Amino acid sequence: MHIDKYERTYLIISAAVLGAFFAALLASALIFDVRLPTTTAFINPNTLSETEFANPGLRNRGNGQYDFYIVGQMWRFNTGSTEQDPELGYDIVRIPVGSEVTFNITSRDVTHGVLIEQHNLNIQLVPGHVGRQTVRFNRVGEFFAICHEYCGRAHQNMFFKIVVEESAAADA
Ligand code: CUA
């Protein structure tokens, strides 16, 4: 079979690029241990009251480490915080700078999402699944966590604010 010289060249280049991508994929998974954020546990959304999610909030594990349980629902994040924005009512969560927080988030009703601006947390919240991700808060500042999956009429109201501060009055 005759293959044109240029066609052959482009076939080789295409195969080489695909091969390089596949090698990069294997290297990231097997050598650098890169994992996509994924469901870490299953949970029955109808019986959250019998789990850690019954009392959402920050749990201090000591040594600057926290577990944070959050329930997403139409159309708010229940963070267990007692502090709300006086005008709009969204939760405000205070975290001491330098903390390492393991988020455990689930949905009570429909599919939501959560993303913390300027931090490495972006999870889809599927009912029945627990999303877990550890985030280090190294910078003082105010960061919104927003729902990024369209979840109904008041989707745009579904967010909360994380205040990273020097000396926090975070609930222990
Ligand atoms: Cu919840 Cu959009």
pLDDT, one tens digit per residue, over 23-76 is 999 998 898 877 766 667 888 888 888 888 999 999 999 899 999 999 999 999
Between strands 100-107 and 92-96, the pairing is unpaired
CA of 155 to the centre of ligand 1 (A): 4
Q: For ligand 1, say whether the CB of 151 is within 6 Å of any of its atoms.
A: yes
Q: What type of residue is 122?
A: N
| Spacing of C-alpha 35 from chain mean position | 14
Residue 15 has pLDDT above 60, yes or no: yes
Residue 97's alpha-carbon distances to 6, 100, 101, 168, in angstroms, are 58, 9, 11, 8
pLDDT band of 145, cuts 50, 70, 90:
very high
Q: Is the pLDDT of residue 167 over 90?
A: no
- How many Å from the N-terminal Cα to the C-terminal Cα in the chain? 74
Indicate whether residue 70 lines ligand 1 (CB < 6 A): no
Centroid of ligand 1 to alpha carbon of 6 (angstroms): 51
Contact of 137 with 46, CB cutoff 8 Å? no
What was the pLDDT predicted at 172? 46
Provide the token pair at 44. Answer: 């029955």
**pTM to 2 decimal places:** 0.76
> Residue 33: what pLDDT?
73
Mean pLDDT, range 104-117, rounded to an integer: 94
149 Cβ closer than 6 Å to some ligand 1 atom: yes
Structure confidence at residue 159 (pLDDT): 96
Nearest ligand 1 atom, CA 72? 1
Residue nearest to atom 1 of ligand 1 (CA): 112
Q: How far is the CA of 71 from the centre of ligand 1 (A)?
A: 12
CA dist 65 and 149 (Å) reads 29
Residue 155 φ then ψ, to 5°: -50, -40
What percent of the residues of the chain are helix, what percent strand, and what percent coil, each to the nearest 5? 20, 40, 40
Q: How many whole angstroms from 158 Cα to the centroid of ligand 1?
A: 6
Distance in Å, CA 146 to ligand 1 centroid: 8
Residue pair 135/95 in contact (Cβ under 8 Å)? The answer is no
Percent of all residues in the chain with a pLDDT value above 90, rounded to a whole number: 70
